[in-house]
Structure 1
């Protein structure tokens, strides 16, 4: 559940929150979701709550609502490696196959000494707008579907390290406890060959997605990070693929490396999807200096 004590002290984030509330009001005036789009074209839930793949957002808009409708869904995700566990839960709404808004919370915990009591929490408010192209109707051209988005992130107090006098990510070298990621995504679906390619370019200061704060002793400037997804439609209901996500290196205590995964996503119907992936998260901190590998499982329900 989202921590109700969290306050996003960001003007843009408050504006986006108002837009989210307004979107909810408008949705009540719309007809029931028509689920008019093709199965799987809404993607699954990305680990920060946006629609797309597991690690990276795509230009797709969440849900199956057509341009005359909307879609709403919720997700829960868990990633477990040798030393850590990451849990994510959230909700998202897609309006008129054009606008997406999402709200999610992340909890990161340690299981091995000296970080076995570590707990990090972060809330993320996301907004995405499709600005060009259509994933399905543009089959006769090379025009991809293109969207721009932002993620407003707020890192909460560090728990479990009080004995070391650490209660904030700033004490680990981060410059800020909150930040904004900006991105543009281009997604191309080739139905004839059952292939999907997505390229996302993200401007970010986030350390480990923001769980270790933003900026640091090695840099406090926005850095452009590429993210790539390649998926193949094995059947109408089963999609397999791989993803890559580049990461900045801002902290001396964190030899941050790129994320990778190989995934299978199952879409038995338009109300349910299940994603299983094997992930490589690289090094997390110098206190457990080994590559973190493990399993990713995500459940999405909605319309």
Structure 2
């Protein structure tokens, strides 16, 4: 059902909902359901809702690297530019073992301060992501302690108009407290730890009002002692209008479950109303 809802939101030709913000400022959809970049949740809330509007978004994403594939679909609700609720369902295909791991993520994000364009200081938001992995046999065999976990993060974002040779520059910095192994797809906690605070960074240059290019970096814990690597990407995001955006990225995910050099591509599409 969640996939049907997401796909309907991607193509539905509505013009009745929020459109009060500058094009591209909400970012795109993150693989755990929040608004932001592909890998990192940003301080912005999903959609273009202002303080007297509601925004509804749906997205689907695909990440494919040498030995793994991640499919994600979900939805986001922005209430009056104050709170964002999100849901995402992940299907993670492990090609060497011919199996699929599944995870559900419920998220909430609260804007604490500011606006990425108009306030002097960065916009700041606090968020959480409650995760449940539904296929726990593999995580248990690898040493994971729990099939559920809650990530808590604090994000700050700012858009600087004309900052780079006349182009707009957007940056985001996020601190996340998490015990998730590979986003939670390999469970939570392990013999080497039960959580840590990790940094996540994003930067993008808007070449024009429709096109942005940028990079992301996501630090990750190593609770299982499998040398879980940090994640990186280089992305291009296209915003033809306020109702749809498309992102393509090159991924460098390092080692996943001791299988090294996981590199590949990411494609995501979001519909917003």
Q: Is TM more than 0.5 here? A: yes
* Equivalent residue number for residue 112 of structure 2: 131
Residue 101 in 1 paired to residue 85 in 2?
yes
Alignment of 1:129-208 (within 5 A): 129-138=110-119, 141=120, 143-158=121-136, 167-193=137-163, 194-208=168-182
Q: Match for 2:249 among 270, 277, 281?
A: 277
* Equivalent residue number for residue 29 of structure 2: 45
Q: What SS class does the counterpart of residue 209 from structure 1 fall into?
A: helix
Q: Is the 8 A contact 1:59 1:187 kept in 2?
A: yes
Structure 1 residue 219, shift from structure 2 partner = 1.1
Q: Is the 8 A contact 1:108 1:121 kept in 2?
A: yes
Q: What SS class does the counterpart of residue 183 from structure 2 fall into?
A: helix
* Equivalent residue number for residue 201 of structure 2: 228
Aligned residue-pair number: 258
Alpha-carbon distance in structure 1 between the residues aligned to 2:260 and 2:49 = 43
Residue 260 in 1 paired to residue 232 in 2?
yes
Structure 1 residue 168, shift from structure 2 partner = 4.8
Q: Is the 8 A contact 2:18 2:47 kept in 1?
A: no
Q: What SS class does the counterpart of residue 191 from structure 1 fall into?
A: strand
Alpha-carbon distance in structure 2 between the residues aligned to 1:73 and 1:175 = 34
Change (3 A) 1:108 1:34: closer
More strand by percentage: 2
Alpha-carbon distance in structure 2 between the residues aligned to 1:154 and 1:145 = 29
Q: Is the 8 A contact 1:35 1:64 kept in 2?
A: yes
Higher relative contact order (CA closer than 8 Å, sequence separation 6+): 2
Alpha-carbon distance in structure 2 between the residues aligned to 1:290 and 1:228 = 23
Cα RMSD after superposing both structures:
1.5
Alignment of 1:56-95 (within 5 A): 56-95=40-79
The structure with more radius of gyration: 1
Q: Match for 1:298 among 240, 264, 268?
A: 268
Structure 1 residue 97, shift from structure 2 partner = 1.0
Q: What SS class does the counterpart of residue 214 from structure 1 fall into?
A: coil
Q: What SS class does the counterpart of residue 267 from structure 2 fall into?
A: strand
Structure 1 residue 284, shift from structure 2 partner = 0.5
TM-score, length-scaled by structure 1: 0.83
Q: What SS class does the counterpart of residue 282 from structure 1 fall into?
A: coil
Alpha-carbon distance in structure 1 between the residues aligned to 2:172 and 2:59 = 21
Structure 1 residue 2, shift from structure 2 partner = 5.1
Alpha-carbon distance in structure 1 between the residues aligned to 2:214 and 2:18 = 28
Q: What SS class does the counterpart of residue 192 from structure 1 fall into?
A: strand
